[in-house]
Structure 1
Amino acid sequence: MTLSSATQVGLSDKVLVFPYETDFSFVALIPQKEMGLKAFTLCMRVATELPEERQIILFAYRTADYDELNVWREKDGRVSFYMSGDGTFFHLPPLTTFRTSLCLTWESRTGLSAFWVEGKRSTYQVYKPGHTIRPKGTVLLGQDPDKHLGGLEAVQSFVGEVTDLNMWDLVLSRSMIQAWHYGHKVPKGNIFDWATMEYELSGNVMVVDDD
């Protein structure tokens, strides 16, 4: 599987549209720094019309042998994330055709993890204290690579819209996450910053103005 397009930069005021189910459409994101992580905050705005019982990959970061950080909507509607093994699952408000602001925070020291929906935090869960996410992998939107850049399945693909994806190598405070949710200025994501993001499109993904 090859990345089919040249690297592009910056998605300010743009939306990625994944118009239909495929096993070949994705966006590869190029991090601004190595993703050897002991903490992170990942935020995005996402909309989909896929039915509740359809599994959807929301974010996939994989090294050669491991899914380092995968975020899913499961077939039972829960939202989950996995780091090199079994995941942890959260009951959140459903993703719909209307844009949802979704953030995920985790830190290794305590294992405390939570999702944030529309600026509101889920209950904390303790997941993989002491773990470290490994660097030198590939980040994809739209597909789950079951091996390093390969093994894509249409039935797990993302269909819908993603915008404003940002990632930091620390846990943002409640006030920062709420500020991001409301579109106020926050420190730029030092791993991914939507406005200056380097990315490569493959297959049928559209970049459209965020009207």
Structure 2
Amino acid sequence: MLHSTVSTDLSEKVFTFPLDSGTANVKFTANVEQPMTALTVCMRFHSTKTRAQSLFSLAIPSESNAFLLYKPSVGVYRLHVKGAALDINGLPDETGEWNSVCWTWDSTDGLTTLWVNGKRSARKILGRAATFTGSPSIILGQDQDSYGGGFDPNQSFSGDITDVHLWNRVISPCEIRFFMEGNAFTPGNILNWNNLQYTISGTVHVEKSDFDKLSCY
């Protein structure tokens, strides 16, 4: 089932993906200046699954894996930039707990860094000189094996996702720490969880978040 595009403040809300599904997804509407040569994505996820899962998928017409954050297994994060891939090991991956993730990438030198729960990876090189042109298809819950589609239920996300922000620049380590710790930070200028346009397809629910325990008082 496809729902109409909604624009709303999702503060203290989560997208819940309760099923292993080849259809359930959330597609974001983003106003993007062309071309994109640097990106930062931050988000939080909670899942009890140990199989492969897609966390964040950005495709462009010429490349389905333009900017993909993927978990092939517990404890491994796989970064894709325009089809090139890099595996990151040794960062937190708490099954059944909230994980706060930020990924930065700059095409100028290709430097990319992944942060999880306040810990960061070594800086690596991925997608040097790559640029993203064309309207991006940005999807939660599925890995796009084709532009806007090609979903595989064995790569789908199952659990909760919240606080998704996307910037067309590399944000500072201080801003990342503010995000990780649940403090005030400058929202994403491409995707802003506090003012988000999105379309839900399939079985996805918008529920109350339990990440911030203070929201119970």
Say yes or no: TM over 0.5: yes
SS at match of 1:74: strand
Partner residue of 1:90? 88
Structural mapping, 1:171-182, within 5 Å? 171-182=170-181
Say if 1:19 and 1:159, in contact at 8 Å, map to a contact too. Answer: yes
* Cα RMSD (Å): 1.5
**What is the aligned counterpart of 1:59 among 56, 60, 69?**
56
User: Could you list the runs of 4 or more consecutive aligned residues of structure 1 that deviate by over 4 angstroms after TM superposition?
Assistant: none
SS at match of 1:146: coil
CA distance in 1, matches of 2:207, 2:35: 32
Query: What percentage of residue pairs aligned between the two structures are identical?
Result: 31
Partner residue of 1:127? 126
Partner residue of 2:215? none
CA distance in 1, matches of 2:31, 2:119: 28
Distance 1:133 1:209, change over 3 A: same
Partner residue of 1:155? 154
State the shift of 1:75 in Å. 3.5
**What is the aligned counterpart of 2:76 among 75, 78, 81?**
78
User: What do residues 96-139 of structure 1 show as CA deviations (whole Å, max 9, x unaligned)?
Assistant: 11101000001111111010111222111111211112230211
Structure 1 spans left out of the alignment, 5+ residues:
none
SS at match of 1:175: helix
TM superposition score normalised by structure 2: 0.90
CA distance in 2, matches of 1:63, 1:129: 17
TM superposition score normalised by structure 1: 0.92
Partner residue of 2:30? 31
SS at match of 1:155: helix
State the shift of 1:198 in Å. 0.4
SS at match of 2:73: coil
Partner residue of 2:214? none
Say if 2:92 and 2:119, in contact at 8 Å, map to a contact too. Answer: no
Which stretch shifts more, 86-95 or 166-175?
A: 86-95
